[in-house]
Amino acid sequence: MAQETTTTTFDDLTHTSLVQPVVIAALSEMPHLWKLTREFNSIADQATSAAKIPKETSWWGTPDDDGASVDLELNGTEGTDLGNTQASTGSITITAAEYGVAMEITDNVIEDSVRGVDIFNWLEGRHLHAIGLAMEDDFLALFASLSNSVGSSGSDLTIAQMIAAQQGARVRGGGPGVYVIDNEQQLNLDTALIATNAAAAIYALSADRMIGYAPTPDNGMGSMRNTMWFRNSPTYTSGLTDTANAAADVVGAYFAPTSSENDATGATTFGHVWKRLPRLETDRIVIGRSTLLCTTARWGCAELQDGSGTAIITDAP
């Protein structure tokens, strides 16, 4: 029948859609791996952006030196005075960088937004998330500075290289560690486990004994991105790792995270300091009929113990 009354004829009375009082988050990396670094006392009340951390210098040799430095030097002889042994320290300096995000929000946005959505609270959470991502990116960039590495430029990550990364850290005196690898490296490892190791694909107990492989229940789909245990070490994956060799490769790492054991033995590979904890502030801009929402923080990270970490440098996608 012609001449129906519709939403088109009543477009002044009807809505084309009803905005729901919820905002679906955008897909994102999950910033949490920087928490694997050792935290030192806040330097917020000090007139400097840098924290100096004393570091002991070994006077008894180095790991895996076949006892060369203690074989004779520390042997005593009855009736003979011991020689004087000098002790010394070095230091690590961690400098806090500044992170920040600012958004000017007009009054109209606040006044016209759907009820049930608190714009300021929502954006505050996203500001913190974004700053966390920036911190994560700076932390993962430290992997390339590790002196010891495994992998071959332009070649996919192998099971043997994963094992070598852990063994190298152990030989150098490192403690219990974790793997943090690039998404491409994770794909390489998954492919290698399926293609070349029937034990991992079929005989789970045998795989456990040989390489300590055990996928997590969610296979890394959760927010922690913990994909598996390899050599009985948790393995995390990230898309924020840096590239190397003119972007031909990506850089992951095996390293000793902060823990009571690693902190006590000096094995913890990386550390961080806060100068300013995340701070949310607002500033009313009268002539603009708007409010400035600003979130800032000052934080820094650095390498503490080079020998306890191993960079894993392999082919990029």
Q: For 230-290, give the DSSP string.
A: ETTEEEEEES-PPEETTTTEEEEEEE----HHHHHHT---EEEEEEEEEEEEEEEETTTTE
Is 169 inside any structural domain?
yes
**Number of domains comprising the chain:** 1
Is 253 inside any structural domain?
yes
Return the minimum-mean-pLDDT range out of 201-205, 233-237, 245-249. Answer: 201-205
Is 263 inside any structural domain?
yes
Is 73 inside any structural domain?
no
Bridge-partner residues for 304, per DSSP? none
Is 44 inside any structural domain?
no
Give the pLDDT confidence score for residue 206 in this predicted structure: 54
Return d(Cα 100, Cα 130) in angstroms, integer. 9
Over 90: is that where the pLDDT of 28 sits? yes
CA terminus-to-terminus distance, the chain:
60
Return d(Cα 23, Cα 117) in angstroms, integer. 8
Give the pLDDT confidence score for residue 315 in this predicted structure: 97
Give the pLDDT confidence score for residue 203 in this predicted structure: 53
Nearest to 190 by CA among 213, 208, 169: 213
| CA distance readout (Å), 176 to 45, 228, 272 | 34, 16, 19
Return d(Cα 220, Cα 222) in angstroms, integer. 5
Give the pLDDT confidence score for residue 72 in this predicted structure: 66
Is 64 inside any structural domain?
no
Over 60: is that where the pLDDT of 29 sits? yes
Is 62 inside any structural domain?
no
Return d(Cα 25, Cα 126) in angstroms, integer. 9
DSSP state of 124: H
Under the banding of pLDDT at 50, 70 and 90, the label for residue 211 is confident
Under the banding of pLDDT at 50, 70 and 90, the label for residue 2 is confident
> In this structure, are residues 159 and 252 in contact, taking their beta carbons and an 8 Å threshold?
no
Q: How high is the mean pLDDT of the chain?
A: 92
Is 84 inside any structural domain?
no
The identity of residue 197, as a single letter, is: N
Give the pLDDT confidence score for residue 16 in this predicted structure: 85
For the segment 260-269, the average pLDDT, to the nearest whole number, is: 97
Compute the CA torsion angle 67, 73, 74, 75 (nearest 10 deg): 100
Over 90: is that where the pLDDT of 295 sits? yes
Give the pLDDT confidence score for residue 69 in this predicted structure: 81
- The domain containing residue 267 runs over which residues? 92-315
Return the minimum-mean-pLDDT range out of 121-130, 200-209, 265-274, 308-317. Answer: 200-209
